[in-house]
Amino acid sequence: MLYGADNAANQRLDHAAVVDFLTSTAGALCDHGVISSKDTDNLRLALSGIASSPSERSLLVELGMQNADFLALLTLRFGTVGVCLNLLRHTLRPPLEETTRILLNLGQSLIKKAELLFNRPFRVYRGAQCQRQILYSTVITDFAETLERASALLEAALQDLARMNPNDLAGANDADFALDEAIAQALGFRGLLRFTLPVQNETDAKQMIAQSLEMVAQAASQLSEQLAANTGEELAHDVLAACEGLMAECQRLNLLEFPRSDSLLVWEVRRRHLIGCISSLNLALTEVSRTSLTAIGPDLAQAVQPLPDSARRRLAYDLITTGVAPAKAAEAIQDLLAYLSVNKVAAHTLLPAELQRINAHLLPQTLESLKAFSADSALMTAASREKKQTMDRVVRLSKNFQDSAKRMAVSASLLMAILVLSGCGLKTRVSSDVPEMRPDVPFRIAAPSKSVDAGMPDREALGATQPGLEAPPHDRSTQIQP
């Protein structure tokens, strides 16, 4: 059984993918004379019979239970593991391409958010302490760069899975590998795999898939924690819940290991669980995308803006450069901030003459710096360097996401063209080897020479030519006169 949101739909999709794998392979073998058209017809009839009696078992398992000759041929050529691995690669490609599309769409949406919220401030917290203030667009761009790295890792896994395992015949020659290339082309693969150890490349690809999505889940989870500190926990709750679901699916994918046996049944059960796991990952990733985009965007303005710890350390550092001891400088800044908090006054209302009463080490420049930090807390006018760097990153990411989306579209178009041009011929009417004794009657569509009710002249002609048949006399009295 395939697990997912809609098991029946996943079952139908898997059946269609397996049929495509078998018929495309049969078409290439038939074109090279390995099997005949009768063998392809037998395969089609076997698949039609299986489809007419729905079962939760895989089509490949059903063919094995029927001792299908075509499956026996594939097993002899590629080995049981080779057939199952190639089918796994073929059926993993569509859901993984959907994963890449989800990541790219999320990345492009984040870039639009970063441009929209470019000048908004964002406060970074560690626990309950505000550490520093940065641009909101910088935080969003950081998340988008994580998606870029995850997409690159996922694309590398897809590139690895885009090659087919070659035949496993002893003494394979150039003709054998030429046939492998033809089969790979018919299936939409980009060539043959060169790894000698079985399952090594597939295991690496599975780990890269899990790692890429774990990166997304962790980055979205960290962003949601910061959003909770800036906007409240209502919106961040949904993001955290979605991230937990995505992380759980990643752990499930890591736990699904490839079988170590040659049992077709064991391999097919595991393959279908892997396909179901990727489908569940796509659902979880879609939920992370939806909740993250919903949470990013509200106004982050608060009634009272806390002074970031980075500003407090800057004030103390400036005092140290004037000759104040580090401990005394930290104590002076602490006294100043405590005075403002207890008396509930703003920094711009404080007079320089009051500094000496608060702490003897405070300087007028300290108060001017504090006023500048407080005034710029909502405008971010002093962040010109950060704005330039962030804008450069936004432009680069926007271009990269668009280029990746175009490559995916081109790749999908080429794959569709290959599958159409390398049609296997199994969808035509079944032909029979029994000679047809009936003569061929040509079929022609011609305009009728007489109307349907114009049979009377024919009967007259028939009576004139055949003895014993006479045409009835005309009764002119019954005819309608003009």
Instruction: Give the E-state strand segments of 317-417 in sequence order.
Output: none
Task: Return d(Cα 182, Cα 188) in angstroms, integer.
Answer: 10
**Nearest CA among 163, 180, 171 for reference residue 32:** 180
Beta bridge partners of 134: 122
CATH of the domain at 348: 1.10.40
Domain span at residue 78? 7-126+133-303+385-421
Residue 40 has pLDDT above 50, yes or no: yes
Is there a domain that residue 263 lies in? Answer: yes
- What does the CA dihedral 127, 130, 131, 134 come to, rounded to 10 degrees? 120
Report pLDDT digits (tens) over 26-39.
999 999 999 999 99
Residue 16 or residue 467, greater confidence: 16
In a domain, residue 161? The reply is yes
- Report d(CA 339, CA 9) in Å as an integer: 66
Mean pLDDT value across residues 208-215: 96
Q: Is the pLDDT reported for residue 451 higher than 60?
A: no
- Asked if residue 248 and residue 283 are part of one domain, the reply reads yes
Nearest-5° Cα angle at 207, 204 to 209: 110
**What is the model's pLDDT at position 6?**
60
* DSSP track, 81-96: HHHHHHHHHHHHHHHH
pLDDT band at 257 (very low <50, low <70, confident <90, very high): very high
| Across 186-195, 208-217, 227-236, 289-298, least confident range | 227-236
Q: Are residues 326 and 262 in the same domain?
A: no
Q: Is residue 434 part of a domain?
A: no
Q: How many whole angstroms from its chain centre is CA 457?
A: 73
pLDDT at 85: 95
Tens-place pLDDT, residues 454-473: 444 444 444 444 444 444 44
The predicted structure's pLDDT at residue 302? 54
At 467 the pLDDT is 45
Domain shared by 100 and 175, yes or no: yes
HSE, CB side, 13 Å, CA atoms: give it for residue 299.
4
Residue 404 and residue 136: Cα distance in Å, rounded?
25
- Residue 416 confidence (pLDDT): 52
Residue 2 has what pLDDT? 54
How far is C-alpha 279 from the geometric centre of its chain's CA atoms? 9
Note the pLDDT tens digit of each residue in 278-288.
999 999 999 99
pLDDT (average), residues 370-386: 70
User: 192 has which bridge partners?
Assistant: 164
Residues 254 and 354 in one domain: no
Residues in the chain: 482
Asked if the structure places residue 459 within a domain, the reply is no
Cα 323 to Cα 265: distance, rounded to the nearest angstrom: 78
Other C-beta atoms closer than 10 Å to the C-beta of 73 total: 17
270 and 320 fall within a common domain? no
End of a domain among 339, 354, 375? 375
More confident residue, 384 or 74: 74
Q: What is the mean pLDDT of the chain?
A: 82
In 3D space, the residue among 363, 375, 370 whose CA is nearest the CA of residue 313 turns out to be 370
- What pLDDT score was predicted for residue 381? 58
Same domain for 110 and 48, yes or no, is: yes
SS3 129: strand
Residues 356-372, mean pLDDT to the nearest whole number:
89
Query: Is the pLDDT score of 446 beyond 70?
Result: no
Q: What six digits make up the tokens of 233?
A: 């926990």
Residue 120 pLDDT exceeds 70: yes
Kindly state the percentage of the chain with pLDDT values over 70: 80
Q: For residue 138, what are its two tokens?
A: 């910088």
Task: List the beta strands (DSSP E) in 349-403.
Answer: none
Average pLDDT over residues 352-375: 87
Alpha-carbon distances, residue 140 vs 70, 147, 218, 285, 449 (angstroms): 53, 11, 14, 17, 79
The stretch 250-267 carries a mean pLDDT of 93
Per the domain annotation, does 118 fall within a domain? yes
Q: How many domains does the chain have?
A: 2
Take residue 45 and report the two structure tokens written for it.
């009839």
Query: Same domain for 239 and 299?
Result: yes
pLDDT average, residue stretch 254-282: 94
User: What is the tens place of the pLDDT at every residue in 122-173?
Assistant: 888 888 888 888 888 999 999 999 999 999 999 999 999 999 999 999 999 9
* Span 3-32, average pLDDT: 84
- Whether 287 is covered by a domain: the verdict is yes
Q: What pLDDT is attached to residue 298?
A: 62
Per-residue confidence band for 316, with pLDDT thresholds at 50, 70 and 90: very high
- Same structural domain for residues 171 and 213? yes
Burial of 83: CB neighbours in 10 Å, binned 0-12, 13-18, 19+: buried
Q: What are phi and psi of 257, to 5 degrees?
A: -95, 155
Element (H or E) spanning 250, and its range? helix 233-255
Residues 481 and 209: their CA atoms lie apart, in Å, by 90
Domain boundary among 421, 441, 476: 421
What percent of the chain stands above pLDDT 90? 50
Q: Identify the CATH number of the domain in which residue 409 sits.
A: 1.20.200.10
Rounded to two decimals, the pTM is 0.76
Question: Exposure of 410 by Cβ count < 10 A (0-12 exposed, 13-18 middle, 19+ buried)?
Answer: exposed
Q: Which helix (H) or strand (E) holds 125?
A: strand 121-126
Rg of the Cα trace of the chain?
Answer: 37
Using CA atoms, how far apart are residues 235 and 241, in angstroms rounded to an integer?
Answer: 11
Q: Do 357 and 232 share a structural domain? A: no
Question: By mean pLDDT, which of 78-87, 98-107, 192-201, 367-376 is the weakest?
Answer: 367-376
Is 208 inside any structural domain?
Answer: yes
> Is the model's pLDDT at 41 over the cut of 50?
yes
How far is 317 from 330, CA to CA, in rounded Å? 8
255 and 313 housed in the same domain:
no
In a domain? residue 160: yes
Q: Are residues 358 and 396 in the same domain?
A: no
Tokens representing 241 are 């819940």
* 398 & 326 share domain: no
